[in-house]
Structure 1
Amino acid sequence: MIFIFVMTGLMTGCQTSTTSQSPDLYDQLGQRSGIAVIVEDLLFLIVDDGRINQSFRGVNVEQFHRLLTDQLCELSGGPCHYTGRSMRELHADMAITDTQFNALTENLILAMEQNRVPTGAQNRLLRKLIPLYPDIRNL
């Protein structure tokens, strides 16, 4: 958690304020198709990450990809609608640690960097995800 706030604070401090002329977040992420590619790259990073890959064993990868793509699409202002379970319900029995939460966030950042998402857009998406932290960690 601390990593998220520190990184977001550092990155945000380097950004200029947004104007009405700047592209919206959904467009900067590449719309739904771009978000789907980011999520696909994130899945490959999860598989290679020993800190979190065991938590994803047995997950229906196709469903996970679709739901996370829809969730990020909706959060970024796109026309998608997330139809999955609430974050609290979904993570209730998982006992997610800060290390695991941060590892997934690091991998999301890497996936966005691999897809040349501008740092400002990365920060804007992370700011939209931070409020989900208490539900994912079940605090």
Structure 2
Amino acid sequence: MTTTTQTPSLYDRLGKFDGITRIVDDVMEAHLASPVIATRFQASKDLNHAKKMAVEFFCAGCGGPESYSGLDLKIAHTGMNISEQEYMAAMDDILGALEKNHIDAGTSGEVTAVLYSLKGQIIRV
């Protein structure tokens, strides 16, 4: 008899909806304190909506049952002229939030790979 061990989904490893919500809350807190990107988030007309969209995006993108109701990433970021430095600052905040929430290095590495894959839809569009 053979047994197979199935790796839990990224969604599960990030703590499902509640864990991802905590991570996004920590990310937004870090963004608001970041000398590189704080002004972009402080100027947000609806930070709660931004948080909701981030939670939906992460949940849906990590294999969760939630749907993403927001705009396509490229459309959402068009005209914002986000620089490489700003993108890297945001990534640092995300990785810090993962660490704060005790997400293991392998899972953080997967999140990093996903974030790098999205760069072209966010930087200077």
- The two structures have a TM-score, normalised by structure 2, of 0.90
CA contact (8 A) 1:46 1:52 kept: yes
Aligned-residue CA RMSD (Å):
1.5
1:75 matches 2:61: yes
1:22 matches 2:18: no
- The two structures have a TM-score, normalised by structure 1, of 0.81
- For 1:78, the aligned partner's letter is G
Runs of 4+ in 1 over 3 A off after TM superposition: none
Deviations 1:54-110 (A, max 9, x none): 112332111111110010011111111111111111111111111000000000000
Q: How many residues align structurally?
A: 121
Partner of 1:137, secondary structure, is coil
Partners of 2:94 and 2:42 lie apart in 1 by 18
Greater relative CO (CA pairs within 8 A, separation 6+): 1
Partners of 1:79 and 1:29 lie apart in 2 by 14
Partners of 2:49 and 2:29 lie apart in 1 by 15
- For 1:35, the aligned partner's letter is I
- For 1:88, the aligned partner's letter is K
For 1:3-14, list aligned pairs within 5 A: none
Structure 2 gap ranges (5+): none
Match of 2:20 in 1: 35
Deviations 1:15-58 (A, max 9, x none): xxxx8532221111000110000000011101110100111233
- For 1:48, the aligned partner's letter is A
Partners of 1:89 and 1:100 lie apart in 2 by 18
Partners of 2:66 and 2:112 lie apart in 1 by 18
1:65 matches 2:39: no
Partners of 2:72 and 2:5 lie apart in 1 by 32
Q: Identity across aligned pairs (percent)?
A: 26
1:121 matches 2:99: no
Structure 1 gap ranges (5+): 1-18
Partners of 2:33 and 2:95 lie apart in 1 by 15
